[in-house]
């Protein structure tokens, strides 16, 4: 790959039980049919930018830009076909591109699936920029990027969209469309499960595949993962959000396989589905090709971004280093030799939180850190809730895929926060397909008489099944019964919505961090409406959540 950059002066989880055997024919099927399904007809007009544009990981002086070019009709994602193609980019201060501040070019090839990344530096802090790509006389759509404030800047407020868990087959990505339409986001956070690895009809959709993904079989190879990423990137609402604001993304398990751990996954059969090392490597390669994310430590997604004196954001990778999840009764969740984070990542997180001089310490957290006990749920609610959370159907107070399954790591981290007087730590979490507002107690058994070390805002899924979907009952039915029981058994939980899909908007000032929760009306309808549901905030210095009766904006 060759590149050229010119700078100009600027003026300013859960999953159902999987099948145990995958037919070799499905795993090794010819790619022609799924490739054709993954790309719209306009691919014939090559070169083309069929997968939109994106920006990510904003810095005070730079931004990472992304696109994919289709240089010829046969150069579909995962095909390995198509010629090397020069792709240029332009960055400007205005949408008309009359005040250009940076230009450059690179060569897109089949080796990187014709994806393009440009890490632009030399920009001004806290500034909106417009960017686009060009190839063979064709321009991409334009996108808006925004750089971060300088490390020592006094920032009055920040606003982030927050999402997770988008199952293509379960519905349309209206949550992305509504976030894109706001026009007021500094960035948006994707907390994992950006794609799902299952074959068609294998993952929860209320028994209705709204739109089939490609390839139709479970993704196993590098070509498979590229095709699936390509399919997702054809969604117009996802394209709109990527073009509207920079994303800060981390992976959870479904970007690779359900319940991934360092040595395997629940949704991987060694041998029948190839080697785990090969599959994991393919999944990660495709992820970094198709996402505007800078590979961080050891090729993972854990890294840290800063937004002036107001907030820093520590982003976790809770899949690459974790010990295998225990089965209830077959392992010790308190075993100090088991880890969720890995030693190096936990030390990095602790050191960063202790050294931070920002008003808020945000943690992008793929799985829920607040403890969760099931309590006395009725049998009809216990079974689907246990399935969604990966628990035994008899119902024990533990989700071993979350921090509950790795209590020594959690105990060490919370003791570190308390012991060092580290305040204003807010965990931003996805994965669980429900919305929660939690205190994070040092000792849940004695809470609220004991201390809270942090707070946690959990966003629901964009489309992936939650409890009302699993039970196939009207929206709100389950929450009306289950939410009071969950709160009674978990006194640190201020709110839980088990039923609805949507997104969050996090608004931060020096005085408080507030999450506004929004829900969509019907995930199966592409034009579905969005409405505000609830708002919760934590005030500076309190480490506790309180309800707010109006959204910020």
Question: Domain-by-domain residue ranges, the chain?
Answer: 3-146, 302-525
Under CATH, which architecture does the 302-525 domain have?
A: 4-Layer Sandwich (3.60)
Which 3 state secondary structure label does DSSP give 252? coil
Q: Count of CB atoms within 10 A of residue 335's CB?
A: 13
Q: Provide the pLDDT for residue 23.
A: 30
CB within 8 A of 338, min separation 6: which ones?
323, 326, 331, 332, 406, 408
Under CATH, which architecture does the 3-146 domain have?
A: Sandwich (2.60)
Rounded Cα distance between 82 and 75, Å, is: 5
Rounded Cα distance between 486 and 283, Å, is: 36
Q: What stretch of H or E contains 281?
A: helix 276-290
For residue 415, the 8-state DSSP code is H
Residue with tokens 């004695």: 446
Which 3 state secondary structure label does DSSP give 549? coil
Own/partner long-range contacts of 25-32 (Cβ < 8 Å, ≥24 apart) = 26/199, 26/217, 26/218, 27/217, 27/218, 27/220, 27/221, 27/273, 27/274, 29/215, 29/217, 31/78, 31/79, 31/215, 31/223, 31/227
Concatenated DSSP letters of 7-20: E--------PPPPS
CB within 8 A of 32, min separation 6: which ones?
none
| Separation in Å, CA 47 to CA 72, 106, 112, 136 | 6, 15, 16, 6
DSSP percent split of the chain into helix, strand, coil, nearest 5: 25, 25, 50
CB within 8 A of 351, min separation 6: which ones?
none
Q: Provide the pLDDT for residue 8.
A: 45
Beta strands per DSSP E along 280-434: 303-307, 311-315, 360-365, 425-429
Helices (H) and strands (E) in the chain, counts: 11, 25
Residue with tokens 């905030």: 537
Rounded Cα distance between 385 and 467, Å, is: 7
Rounded Cα distance between 44 and 26, Å, is: 28
pLDDT tens across the length of the chain (553 residues): 334 444 443 333 333 333 322 332 333 333 334 444 444 444 446 799 999 999 999 999 999 999 999 999 999 999 999 999 999 999 999 999 999 999 999 999 999 999 999 999 999 999 999 999 999 999 999 999 999 999 999 999 999 999 999 999 999 999 999 999 999 999 999 999 999 999 999 997 888 999 999 999 999 999 999 999 999 999 999 999 999 999 999 999 999 999 999 999 999 999 999 999 999 999 999 999 999 998 777 678 999 999 999 999 999 999 999 999 987 655 688 889 999 999 999 999 999 999 999 999 999 999 999 998 776 565 566 667 666 655 544 334 457 899 999 999 999 999 999 999 999 999 999 999 999 999 999 998 889 999 999 999 999 999 999 988 888 888 888 888 888 888 988 999 999 999 999 999 999 999 999 999 999 999 999 999 999 999 999 999 999 999 999 999 7
Picking from 457, 439, 436, 459, the residue whose alpha carbon sits closest to that of residue 448 is 439
Q: Provide the pLDDT for residue 32.
A: 37
CB within 8 A of 412, min separation 6: which ones?
346, 350
Q: Count of CB atoms within 10 A of residue 81's CB?
A: 15
Q: Provide the pLDDT for residue 59.
A: 98
Q: What stretch of H or E contains 408?
A: helix 407-419
Rounded Cα distance between 224 and 114, Å, is: 15
Cis amide prior to 14 (ω within 30 degrees): no
Which 3 state secondary structure label does DSSP give 233? coil
């Amino acid at each position: 790959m060759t590149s050229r950059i010119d700078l100009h002066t600027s003026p300013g989880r859960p999953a159902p039980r999987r099948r145990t055997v995958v037919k070799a024919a499905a795993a090794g099927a010819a790619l022609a049919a799924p490739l054709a399904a993954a790309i719209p007809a306009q691919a014939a007009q090559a070169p083309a930018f069929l997968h939109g544009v994106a920006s990510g990981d904003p810095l005070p002086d730079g931004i990472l830009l992304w696109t994919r070019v289709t240089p010829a009709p046969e150069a579909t994602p995962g095909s390995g076909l198509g010629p090397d193609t020069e792709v240029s980019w332009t960055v400007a201060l205005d949408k008309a591109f009359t005040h250009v501040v940076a230009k450059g070019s690179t060569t897109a090839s089949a080796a990187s699936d014709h994806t393009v990344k440009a890490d632009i530096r030399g920009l001004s802090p806290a500034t909106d920029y417009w960017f686009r790509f060009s190839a063979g006389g064709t321009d991409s759509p334009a996108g808006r990027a925004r750089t971060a404030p300088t490390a020592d800047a006094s920032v009055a407020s920040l606003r982030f969209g927050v999402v997770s868990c988008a199952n293509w087959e379960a519905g349309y990505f209206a949550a992305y469309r509504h976030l894109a339409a706001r026009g007021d986001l500094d960035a948006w956070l994707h907390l994992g499960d950006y794609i799902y690895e299952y074959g068609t009809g294998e993952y929860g959709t209320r028994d209705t595949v709204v739109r089939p993904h490609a390839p139709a079989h479970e993704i196993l190879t590098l070509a498979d993962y590229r095709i699936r990423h390509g399919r997702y990137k054809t969604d117009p609402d996802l394209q709109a959000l990527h073009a509207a604001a920079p994303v800060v993304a981390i992976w959870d398990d479904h970007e690779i396989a359900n319940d991934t751990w360092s040595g395997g996954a629940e949704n991987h059969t060694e041998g029948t589905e190839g080697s785990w090392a090969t599959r994991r490597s393919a999944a990660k390669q495709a992820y970094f090709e198709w996402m505007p994310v800078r590979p961080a430590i050891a090729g993972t997604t854990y890294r840290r971004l800063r937004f002036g004196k107001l907030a820093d954001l520590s982003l976790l990778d809770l899949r690459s280093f974790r010990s295998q999840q225990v089965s209830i009764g077959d392992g010790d969740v308190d075993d100090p030799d088991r880890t969720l984070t890995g030693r190096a990542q936990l030390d990095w997180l602790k050191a960063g939180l202790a050294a931070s001089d920002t008003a808020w310490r945000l943690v992008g957290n793929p799985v829920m850190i607040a403890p969760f006990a099931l309590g006395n749920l009725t049998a009809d609610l216990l079974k689907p809730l246990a399935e969604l959370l990966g628990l035994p159907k008899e119902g024990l107070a533990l989700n071993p895929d979350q921090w509950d399954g790795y209590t020594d790591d959690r105990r060490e981290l919370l003791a570190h926060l308390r012991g060092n007087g580290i305040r204003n730590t807010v965990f931003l979490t996805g994965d669980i397909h429900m919305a929660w507002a939690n205190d994070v107690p040092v000792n849940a058994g004695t809470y609220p008489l004991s201390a809270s070390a942090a707070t946690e805002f959990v966003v629901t899924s964009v489309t992936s099944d939650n409890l009302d979907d699993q039970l196939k009952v009207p929206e709100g039915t389950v929450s009306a019964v289950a939410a009071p029981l969950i709160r009674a058994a978990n006194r640190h939980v201020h709110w839980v919505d088990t039923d609805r899909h949507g997104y969050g908007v996090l608004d931060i000032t020096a005085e408080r961090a507030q999450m506004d929760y929004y829900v969509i009306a019907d995930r199966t309808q592409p034009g579905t409406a969005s409405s505000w549901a609830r708002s919760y905030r934590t005030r500076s210095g309190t480490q506790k959540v309180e309800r707010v009766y109006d959204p910020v904006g």
